[in-house]
Structure 1
Amino acid sequence: MIKNYCYILVLISLVLSCSEAVIEDTEAEPVVETVFYNPDIKSVVDNFCISCHNDVSANSGLNLSNYDLVKDAAENGNLILRINDVQNPMPPSGLLPSSERALFDKWVADGFPENENEE
Structure 2
Amino acid sequence: MAWLLNSCESNTYEEVAGVVEFPTYQANVKKIMDDKCNSCHNPDYGQEPYLQTYELVKDACENGELLCRIDGSCGAIMPTSGKMPKARVDIIQNWALQGYVEQ
Q: TM-score, normalised by structure 2?
A: 0.77
1:93 matched residue in structure 2: 81
* Conserved? CA contact 1:45–1:64, under 8 Å: yes
Identity of aligned residues (%): 35
Letter in 1 for 2:76: N
SS of 2:26's partner is coil
1:108 matched residue in structure 2: 96
* Conserved? CA contact 1:37–1:112, under 8 Å: yes
Match of 2:66 among 79, 96, 107: 79
Number of matched pairs: 90
Per-residue deviation, 1:58 = 3.0
Which structure is larger by alpha-carbon Rg, 1 or 2? 1
Match of 2:43 among 55, 65, 74: 55
Match of 2:53 among 61, 66, 80: 66
Partners of 1:55 and 1:38 lie apart in 2 by: 21
User: C-alpha root-mean-square deviation of aligned residues, in Å?
Assistant: 2.4
1:35 matched residue in structure 2: 23
* Conserved? CA contact 2:19–2:91, under 8 Å: no
Partners of 1:90 and 1:37 lie apart in 2 by: 19
Partners of 1:111 and 1:40 lie apart in 2 by: 14
* Conserved? CA contact 2:70–2:83, under 8 Å: yes
Q: Which structure 2 segments of 5+ residues have no match?
A: 1-10
Kindly provide the CA deviation profile for residues 8-53 of structure 1, in whole angstroms up to 9, marking residues without a partner as x. xxxxxxxxxxxxxxx9xx7x84442x11000200000000000000
Runs of 4 or more off by more than 3 Å in structure 1? 28-31
